[in-house]
């Protein structure tokens, strides 16, 4: 870019996306005189999915605003909890977020997940077709125009990822209602209905089962149940209601 120079101040939550010189306050950014402010902000490294509002010289402007020389810009983060209009709140996660996908499903949150890398265009198209919020740590993916909605996953820790998404979007929680493998809904099942999935010890020791209505996977309170209960109880204590 080689045109009007503007001054851009990023909210502290957004400075991790921008080059070091811009992290120290209102830094100069050179524009081309024709690109929108949204494009200019993204060119600094900040996905628009993480931007709540844009302010120029003390007034809020749309992302389509074309900045002029000397403009003083404030880039503010999304408000939390973030409201996503237009469809029931549901998510799509890329191949790198398998643990987060399973934990969201454990809490009954509608969560689609691609266990193989199908590529950014296909993920963005699925987000649009199914009206799902795309969750990813891939900034390039989150900048794709065809996305219906998206959000950057800030942490690499599954525990922190889950808390961040629950705090940001406040989805309704309905634990133990979804299959952690395929996202299908669970129903109560008899031992006879799932007998082909039970080994000797399990068959003898357990009498209460659930089964996925989509893939048929059986569930019971096995060896890791206490760990799952702890995840559910923490989430409900902080984010239910």
8-state DSSP, 178: B
At 40-74, the pLDDT tens digits run 999 999 999 999 999 999 999 999 999 999 999 99
What's the predicted TM-score (pTM) here? 0.91
At 85-144, the pLDDT tens digits run 888 999 999 999 999 999 999 999 999 998 889 999 999 999 999 999 999 999 999 999
What's the mean pLDDT when you consider all of the chain? 93
**Nearest 5°: CA angle at 135, between 16 and 232?**
105
For residues 194-220, one letter each, b for 16 or more C-beta atoms within 10 angstroms of the residue's C-beta and e for the rest, the string is beebbeeebeeeeeebbbbeeeebbbb
Maximum C-alpha span of the chain: 76
127 half-sphere exposure, CB direction, 13 A CA radius: 26
């Amino acid at each position: 870019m080689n045109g009007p120079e503007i001054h851009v101040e990023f909210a502290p939550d957004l400075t991790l996306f921008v080059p070091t010189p811009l992290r120290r306050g209102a830094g100069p950014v050179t524009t081309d005189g024709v690109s929108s402010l949204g494009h200019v902000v993204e060119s600094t490294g900040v996905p628009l999915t993480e931007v709540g509002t844009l302010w120029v010289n003390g007034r809020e402007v749309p992302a389509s605003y074309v900045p002029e020389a000397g403009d003083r810009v404030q880039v503010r983060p999304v408000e939390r909890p973030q409201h996503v209009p237009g469809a029931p709140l549901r998510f799509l996660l890329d191949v790198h977020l398998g643990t987060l996908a399973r934990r969201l499903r454990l809490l009954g949150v509608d969560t689609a997940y691609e266990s193989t890398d199908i590529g950014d265009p296909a993920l963005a198209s699925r987000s649009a077709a199914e009206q799902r919020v795309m969750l990813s740590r891939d900034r390039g993916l989150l900048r794709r125009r065809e996305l219906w909605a998206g959000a950057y996953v800030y942490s690499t820790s599954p525990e922190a990822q889950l808390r961040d998404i629950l705090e940001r979007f406040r989805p309704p929680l309905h634990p133990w209602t979804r299959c952690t493998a395929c996202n299908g809904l669970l129903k109560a099942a008899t031992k006879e209905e799932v007998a082909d999935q039970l080994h000797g010890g399990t068959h003898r020791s357990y009498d209460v089962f659930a089964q996925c209505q989509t893939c048929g996977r059986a569930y019971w309170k096995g060896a890791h149940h206490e760990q799952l209960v702890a995840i559910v109880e923490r989430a409900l204590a902080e984010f239910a209601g």
